[in-house]
Amino acid sequence: MIKPIRTPCVGICSTGIGDAVCRGCKRFAHEVIDWNAYTHSQRATIAARLEDFLTQVVATRFVVFDEKRLLMQIRHQQLHFDRDRNPYCWVFELLRAGASQIDDLEAYGLRLQPGSRGLSLVQIKDLIDADYYTLSCAHYDRYIAPGELRQVAL
């Protein structure tokens, strides 16, 4: 049986105000609009892109040195997360749920990358979100927008 792919929506949509890339879930406006009409394969492609981007960005700030410890803490905190996603995506869910409440990263199986030392976890969460958005926008500008411009010109 194929596991359904849930919408990546986080309830903070900016496509309704004209953004080409949603500031909440980082999908493109047409992906937000057409999500319910997409096939499983189309949804999986979008989910994989978002996971890759988020993993890349979180890994610039953290090292997951103990995945089991991270998983145990996330379950203990009763956080909603997708066990099938990369553990670096779990880190972002953890930060979104309570970056200001984490005192000991080691207890979560995490270490900061050198460039993130000296920053609060709230600051790091905000930087990750900004970089994730920037990466999604860059992808949109490079690969999606030129095709949309060609369609308008036709």
Q: Is the dihedral of CA 56, 60, 83, 100 positive or negative?
A: negative
Q: What is the pTM of this model?
A: 0.92
Q: Tell me if 104 is assigned to some domain.
A: yes
Q: Give me the domain span that covers residue 141.
A: 15-153
With a CB cutoff of 8 Å and minimum separation 6, the contacts of 87 are: 64, 67, 70, 71
Q: Tell me if 9 is assigned to some domain.
A: no
Q: Tell me if 118 is assigned to some domain.
A: yes
Q: What pLDDT score does 152 carry?
A: 44
Q: Tell me if 3 is assigned to some domain.
A: no
Q: How many CB atoms lie within 10 A of CB 64?
A: 19
Structure confidence by residue, pLDDT tens digits, 104-144 = 999 999 999 999 999 999 999 999 999 999 999 999 999 99
Tally of structural domains, the chain: 1
Q: What pLDDT score does 1 carry?
A: 81
Q: What pLDDT score does 153 carry?
A: 43
Q: Tell me if 147 is assigned to some domain.
A: yes
List of the chain residues with pLDDT < 50: 150, 152-154
Q: How many CB atoms lie within 10 A of CB 106?
A: 10
User: For the chain, give me the number of helices (H) and strands (E)?
Assistant: 6, 2
Distance between CA atoms of residues 154 and 150, nearest Å: 6
